[in-house]
Amino acid sequence: MSLPIELISTDFDGTLHADFENPPVPPALVDLIERLQHQGVKWVINTGRDLSSLMESMGRAHLRVKPDFLVTVEREIFIHEGHRYAPLEPWNSECMQTHRELFARVAGDLPRLYDWVNERFDATVYADDYSPFCLIAGNNGDADAIENFLADYSRSVPSLTVVRNDVYARFSHEDYNKGSALTEIARRLGITVDKILAAGDHFNDLPMLSIERARWLVAPANAIPVVQETVRRQRGFVSRHSVGHGIAEGIEACLRLANAAQTPA
Ligand SMILES: [Mg+2]
């Protein structure tokens, strides 16, 4: 009999990993992932962090299990090959080129956008390697207001979108997000949507928390309300437990359901 679930995509912060817990990834979840990988399940960490920041946190957490794929900055894909994570091509090069072209079109407006934020809020706005407009707001209320302003602006630029996660936000191209990256990995592996599980806790997880991307959806108890509602509405599993404890429970629950659906009556 084939595996009931073949691909698992987990967000990192607040989903798999809790800074305030020791160890930050619960041993029961590590054991579960190890067992599933042994059976042939592929595991993706799908995060807004960049590669170096993710590798550092994975190292500090002394994770015994290694993801088969990484999605970083919600859009770049890396595949586990031996002792390294190699960029998945041509996806990453096309992603970079698409963003370069998009950002060239907003360059002239950036000073005005920076000024608008700085005149009204105690926030940090800056450019990095991935976006010419990155935001760290002072609190979530400020982030909501700034996101609304940026969303209004982005409607005037075809394909421009704002990716939000807690008090962080950045400009990005609408074709690249955690959901489209997950679908690309599934396409490369030849895995269909009914065999995919996705788990996340925040705004930037919403593109993968969709039954268009994954049949099995999981959110931990700490997920923000819109994530919990989105998962529930699509008959996903919202755990009463937080972070990795909730994800372990959710994966087990989905496996039971998927197994039952696969077993002939
Ligand atoms: Mg998160």
Cα(56) to centroid(ligand 1), Å = 16
Domain-located, residue 85: no
195 residue type, one letter: K
Task: Indicate the SS3 state at residue 135.
Answer: strand
Q: Residues with Cβ < 8 Å from 174, sequence gap 6 or more?
A: 159, 160, 161
For residue 81, pLDDT beyond 90: yes
Domain-located, residue 242: yes
Domain-located, residue 36: yes
Domain-located, residue 86: no
Cα(222) to centroid(ligand 1), Å = 10
Domain boundary among 133, 158, 173: 173
Query: What is the pTM (predicted TM-score) of this model?
Result: 0.95
- Please indicate, yes or no, whether residues 235 and 206 belong to a single structural domain of this protein: yes
Domain-located, residue 1: no
For residue 262, pLDDT beyond 90: no
Cα(14) to centroid(ligand 1), Å = 4
Domain-located, residue 2: no
User: Residue 154 — very low, low, confident or very high, per pLDDT cuts 50/70/90?
Assistant: very high
* Separation CA 203–CA 47 (nearest Å): 12
For residue 147, pLDDT beyond 90: yes
Query: Where residue 195 sits, what CATH number does that domain have?
Result: 3.40.50.1000
Cα(256) to centroid(ligand 1), Å = 25
Cα(112) to centroid(ligand 1), Å = 30
* Range of the structural domain that residue 122 is part of: 92-173
Domain-located, residue 215: yes
Cα(265) to centroid(ligand 1), Å = 38
Cα(62) to centroid(ligand 1), Å = 19
Domain boundary among 173, 193, 228: 173
- Please indicate, yes or no, whether residues 118 and 161 belong to a single structural domain of this protein: yes
- Please indicate, yes or no, whether residues 101 and 152 belong to a single structural domain of this protein: yes
For residue 231, pLDDT beyond 80: yes
Domain boundary among 173, 201, 235: 173
**Region 72-82 average pLDDT:** 97
pLDDT, position 176: 98
Contact 162, 171 (CB under 8 A): yes
**Region 164-171 average pLDDT:** 94
Domain-located, residue 204: yes
Q: Specify the number of domains making up the chain.
A: 2
- Please indicate, yes or no, whether residues 146 and 257 belong to a single structural domain of this protein: no
Q: For 66-80, b where at least 16 C-beta lie within 10 A, e where not — what string?
A: ebbbbbbbbbbbbbb
Average per-residue pLDDT for the chain: 96
Cα(262) to centroid(ligand 1), Å = 31
**Region 174-197 average pLDDT:** 98
pLDDT, position 265: 58
Cα(213) to centroid(ligand 1), Å = 18
Cα(196) to centroid(ligand 1), Å = 19
Cα(119) to centroid(ligand 1), Å = 29
User: Residue 118 — very low, low, confident or very high, per pLDDT cuts 50/70/90?
Assistant: very high
Cα(200) to centroid(ligand 1), Å = 6
Task: Indicate the SS3 state at residue 42.
Answer: strand
Cα(204) to centroid(ligand 1), Å = 8
